[in-house]
Amino acid sequence: MHIPDGFLSNSVNAVTFVISAGACTYGVRRVNRNFGEREVPLMGVTAAFIFAAQMLNFPVAGGTSGHFLGAVFSSVLLGPWAGLIIMTIVLMVQCLGFADGGLTAIGSNIFNMGVIGALGGYSIFIFLYTLFQKSLKGFFTALAISSWFSVVMGATAASIELAISGTSPLKVALSAMAGVHAIIGVGESIITTTAVSLILKTRPDLVTCYVKKEVFHEKTA
């Protein structure tokens, strides 16, 4: 879903850049306020995993491939603002180091995969998780649904940007992008739930969103 240079108009890139920069500035402040010695290496290893996993394209229908995004994954582990920062750093390294995603489109890519993917995906997660009354089953159901949405919503945002830029009419871009990403999103759900369940089994204290309740009780007890 990395948009290269030349797909989007300057005004679209400028607007998304301003929104993404604003979100990241606030995100850095939030991370700065909450994170200490312990969380920084966790951010590093989460970002490294996301980078590696994003390279493992899996085939989907019709000669197309898809890959892991990791926006909901990182948000559920470390909180949505850290998730946004992690996605932003991964995208910037991919752009500057590997020529994946255009430099002029960096704001749009951060917007689609970070702001929409991490913050948007996390909002859906926390809404569903609360709706399911924070049960273990509810946790994984919310995780699966929200990670699917993070990919499809990111693709939808990309289609809207393509349409506003005059690259492809909205109807055409939206149906094609949402269609293929609805399948890629299933892969996203499977990888996210598998990875999180493995971490939850071995180190439940590292899944910020899941343990919040229990940690709270421990601390107040």
**Distance between CA 143 and CA 147 in Å, rounded?**
6
Give the nearer residue to other proteins in terms of CB position, either 142 or 173: 173
Specify burial of residue 129 (Cβ count, 10 A radius: 0-12, 13-18, 19+). Answer: buried
Site for other proteins in 133-192 (CB under 8 A): 155, 158, 162, 167-168, 172-173, 176-177, 180-181, 184
Q: How far is the CB of 137 from other proteins (least distance, A)?
A: 25
Q: Which string of DSSP letters, residue by residue, matches 155-169? A: HHHHHHHHHHTTSS-
Listed residue (153, 84, 91) closest to 114, CA to CA: 84
What are the start-end ranges of the H helices in 35-119?
39-54, 71-78, 80-98, 106-110
3 binds other proteins (CB under 8 A): yes
Task: Quote the Cα angle for 164-119-124, to 5°.
Answer: 100
39 binds other proteins (CB under 8 A): yes
Among 126-134, 139-147, 199-207, 208-216, the segment contacting other proteins (CB under 8 A): 199-207
From the list 10, 11, 18, 57, which residue makes contact with other proteins (rule: CB under 8 A)? 57
Binding site for other proteins (CB under 8 A): 1-7, 28, 31-32, 35-49, 51-53, 55-60, 62-67, 85-86, 89-90, 93, 95-100, 102-104, 155, 158, 162, 167-168, 172-173, 176-177, 180-181, 184, 202-203, 206
